[in-house]
Amino acid sequence: MQVTTKGIVLSSIKYGDTSLISRIYTDSDGLKSYLLKGILTAKKGKLKAAYFQPLMQLEINANHKNKGTLESIRDVKVEYHYQSLHTEMTKNSVVLFLAEMLGNSIHEEESNKELFQFLQASLQWLDNHDKIANFHLFFLLSLTKYLGFYPDTENFSASCFDLVDGVFVDYPSGSAFITDENLVLFKQLLGTNFDTIHSIIMKKTNRQELLKSIVLYYEMHLQGFRKPKSLAVLNEVFS
């Protein structure tokens, strides 16, 4: 079936000497994997390797067999042209980390337009703003709304956040929880939006500890989730 859809690149890996396999989250069909034959050596043609960098926003014309095999792309164009995401070192580090997190979190081959629109708008916001030190924390917390394990805020005034059960409690049931100064910042993140995340002031140690807790939260609530290799690099960038 021939499909024209918007898509966000999650990853691209080399296949043989001349080709790529690219995993793209599409608006029409969720996660799809495409074999891009000969793209690394092609001097002409509509498909260029530069289009398949992490988190690129594309419009693709593809053939979808929907049989669980690699699909093919007939034509592609950039749907949104980033100005800074792949050229500024800090933003590029965020992009690599978030692409890995998304690749480890999203597996459904079905359309989820709300999730797609969230990713689309969030990445465009990141591209157009400079005060981004807290962006990845807020992005990952917001993403849990679409993945089905957003923190339950019913007991918001409690003194701990239990990572296992995803609830605020006064007495956590296990050893994985957020408390004290980090809890205050965690609650502030839950109560903000992209345009005000810069107003949350936190030390580098708090930012690193919160990120570690949020990644652990993903590990606990997503089957098969793997801790991203780029986590250490991101912590170094924001230190």
State residue 175's pLDDT score: 84
The reported pLDDT for the residue numbered 210 is 96
What pLDDT is recorded for position 239? Answer: 62
pLDDT for residue 44:
73
Asked if residue 230 has pLDDT above 90, the reply is no
DSSP string, 14-41: EETTTEEEEEEEETTTEEEEEEETTTTT
Strands of the 57-63 sheet, one edge to the other: 30-36, 19-26, 2-15, 57-63, 72-80
Question: What value does the mean pLDDT of the chain take?
Answer: 94
pTM: 0.94
Domains and CATH numbers, the chain: 2-80 (2.40.50.140), 89-237 (1.20.1440.120)
pLDDT in tens, 168-225: 999 887 789 999 999 999 999 999 999 999 999 999 999 999 999 999 999 999 999 9
